[in-house]
Amino acid sequence: MATSTTWATWTSTLCDSTASSDTWHSWISDSTSTSTHDKFPSGTTWHSWASTDTYAILPGNVIEFEPTILTHKQIQANLRTDNQTHINRIWIQMEKEEAEAIAHDLLEDLLDDNQLEIYKNTGRVLVKGRKHDYIVRRHGTTIKRVGKNKVQDLCCHLSYPYKNQLPPTDDTIAKILAIKYDEEHFNKLANHHHIRNLNELPDAAKAA
């Protein structure tokens, strides 16, 4: 049997020619249930293992299982499924990109050219409310509310089941509209988190 030949070659060359051969001999003579070579007493176990479907051997316990043999049709079916999964993934990505482009068209109706340019470059938009200014990001749920000397993190997002289902720019549009035209309500519903004084910010942020 081919596997026996390989095994014999391995044990007679690799193990015998290295310093680890002593360890090997010690191991197989102590735990005889795992050895297979003819010159070792457990050779029978090896032949049994190589000629049957036994793949896992534990001390004193042999676990046997039936190997799964796929027919040609099953292999073809699996390949078709893999290909379809790949196509579906590409298709979903294309749909997401298309949806984001549509959302961006709608955003253009709400922002001026300067705001749009900043949004394209940074993924952020400065929204001027009646009481405060806000920095809304394309990704993430945190909005920075900029007051006279303070910056506060507000957290809000689309409710379930809409959260993370709409394109990121639609999420931005929802927040911009809420701030611009319903600022008081927006400040009530958003969770208020960390507040920092402007003098705690890095110099670059203060200059900006």
Q: Indicate the residue among 37 and 175 with the shorter CB distance to another protein.
A: 175
d(CA 127, CA 101): 21
Check: CB of residue 10 under 8 Å from CB of residue 57. no
Considering beta carbons, is residue 30 or 112 the nearer one to another protein?
112
Nearer to another protein, 143 or 151 (CB): 143
Six-digit token string for 75: 């292999």
User: Cβ of residue 189: shortest distance to another protein, in angstroms?
Assistant: 5
Residues in the chain, overall count: 208
CB of 155 to another protein, least distance (A): 4
Which residues contact another protein (rule: CB under 8 A)?
95, 98-103, 105-106, 109-112, 141, 155-159, 162, 165-167, 170, 173-175, 177-178, 180-182, 186, 189-191
As measured in angstroms, the least distance from the Cβ of 196 to another protein is 19
State CA 20 to chain mean position distance. 42
> Judged by CB, which is closer to another protein: 61, or 159?
159
> Please, are residues 126 and 115 in contact by the beta-carbon 8 Å criterion?
yes
Return d(Cα 147, Cα 154) in angstroms, integer. 12
